[in-house]
Amino acid sequence: MHPVLLPLSWRWSVSYCVLSLLSALAGGAHAAKALELHSAHYTIWSSAPAPRAQMALQATESLHQRWQAWVGGHTKHDTSRHQLMLYGSRTEMRQALPGIGWAEAFYNGKQCVQYDDPSASRPLHWLVHEATHQLVAEDAHLTLPRWANEGLACLFSVSRMVPGPQNRLEIRLATVDPNTYPTWWLPRFKLSGVMSTDLNEEKIILPTTILKEPESVDISNSLNQHYLSWWSMASFFHAADSQAWKKWIITDGTDEGLMRRFGPRKTLDDRWYAHLMRLSDSANAKQ
């Protein structure tokens, strides 16, 4: 099941609603089942069982650790706790927020909101995705083009999360977990290995197209193709030169700066497509 991209104005319009729900969940009619838990960098309000809320905190703390290691001393991070909300089920979240459509999670500029799904093989990758947006905004205070903002969030959220020292979860950045969005669309699209064929069959959107699209472009009819392009572009630039990609994210964010580091533009689509096929092999591999 894939998410629907929420317009920024919608995300902000639900902010007051979510704040009210947080208050109600923490101290109102649902107080008997509400949890408020804290970790070093996060506060979570949850109607899910305590172990599930703790898992959410572990996942976001793993993200926070990997994010800080990635950005290094380039940004001055926020010392306040970031806010999370975990509903007990998809039904509960949709009853509380009936206007969210098919969205599985979102960041509204204040909280990351998701529902719990114990049956999913990687249920918290949605939360990691939104929490990356949260770190971009609240920790690093960056303003990025939409493709780069979403691509960066995907780069972290599709990466494998594995037990590290003392059984703490670690994110292996730029690896591919096939049980995450949008990677699970790669085997479903069955890419041919010929860029022109996949383009004509509307399975892919080229980077040169992405880079010239206006920020407000309607992607409702090509949501999964756009997310695949955004993620794979971030993955391609990271693989090509991780230091140049990081420096562009943190200090530049312009089209001109991107091409200075990763040009020429005339070969960009071909180089990206070759990387996309390697990603497709990873997503199809049984690991």
Which domain does 93 fall in, by range? 8-142
- Cα–Cα distance, 87 to 96 (Å, whole number): 9
- The percent of residues above 70 in pLDDT, for the chain, comes to 85
The residue to which tokens 């950005």 are assigned: 71
CB atoms within 10 A of CB 185: 18
Residues 129 and 193 occupy one common structural domain: no
Do residues 274 and 191 share a domain?
yes
CB 230 within 8 A of CB 154: yes
The pLDDT tens digits of the residues spanning 196-251 come to 999 999 999 999 999 999 999 999 999 999 999 999 999 999 999 999 999 999 99
**Separation of alpha carbons 83 and 154, rounded Å:** 20
Q: Which amino acid is at 231?
A: W
Does residue 195 register a pLDDT over 60? yes
Check the CA dihedral 69-71-76-78 and report its sign: negative
Cα of 267 vs its chain's centroid, Å: 27
Distance (Å, whole) CA 277 – CA 269? 12
| Same domain (yes/no): 134, 205 | no
CB atoms within 10 A of CB 35: 17
List the Cα angle 65/90/50 in 5-degree steps: 55
Q: For 25-84, write each residue's pLDDT tens digit.
A: 543 334 336 799 999 999 999 999 999 999 999 999 999 999 999 998 766 666 689 999
Measuring CA to CA, which residue among 115, 107, 104 is closest to residue 138?
A: 107
List the CATH number of the domain containing 73: 3.40.30.160
CB 63 within 8 A of CB 33: no
CA distances from 69 to 63, 74, 106, 170, 250 (A): 10, 10, 24, 12, 14
Quote the crossing angle between the two packed helices 50-71 and 146-157, to the nearest 10°.
120
Contact 231/55 with Cβ under 8 angstroms? no
Within-domain flag for 147? no
Same domain for 57 and 133? yes
**pLDDT of res. 75:** 64
Q: Is residue 14 domain-shared with residue 128, that is, in the same domain?
A: yes
**Which residue type does 105 have?**
A
Strand ranges for the chain from DSSP E: 35-38, 42-46, 82-87, 105-107, 111-115, 160-163, 169-172
User: What burial class does residue 66 get, using C-beta atoms within 10 Å of its C-beta: 0-12 exposed, 13-18 middle, 19+ buried?
Assistant: buried
Residue 113 belongs to some domain of the structure: yes
Examine residue 166 and state whether it is found in any structural domain, yes or no: no
Report pLDDT digits (tens) over 5-19: 333 333 333 443 444
Final residue of a structural domain among 142, 173, 205 = 142
- Domain final residue pick, 114, 142, 170: 142
**Cα–Cα distance measured from residue 284 to residue 158, given in angstroms and rounded to the nearest whole number:** 14
pLDDT, tens digit (0-9, with 9 covering 90-100), for 96-139: 999 888 789 999 999 999 999 999 989 899 999 999 999 999 99
pLDDT at 278 exceeding the cut of 80:
yes
Nearest to 127 by CA among 78, 56, 68, 188: 56
Question: Is the same domain home to 192 and 259?
Answer: yes
50 assigned to some structural domain: yes
Total-model pTM:
0.88
Which residue(s) pair with 254 in the sheet? none
Q: Find out whether 139 and 72 touch, Cβ atoms under 8 Å.
A: no
pLDDT of residue 166: 78
**126 and 18 share one domain:** yes
Number of domains observed in the structure of the chain: 2
Same domain, 98 and 194: no
Structure confidence at residue 287 as a pLDDT band (50, 70, 90):
very low
Tell me, yes or no, whether 65 lies in a domain.
Answer: yes
Q: Is residue 213 part of a domain?
A: yes
Regarding whether 44 and 118 lie in a shared domain, the answer is yes
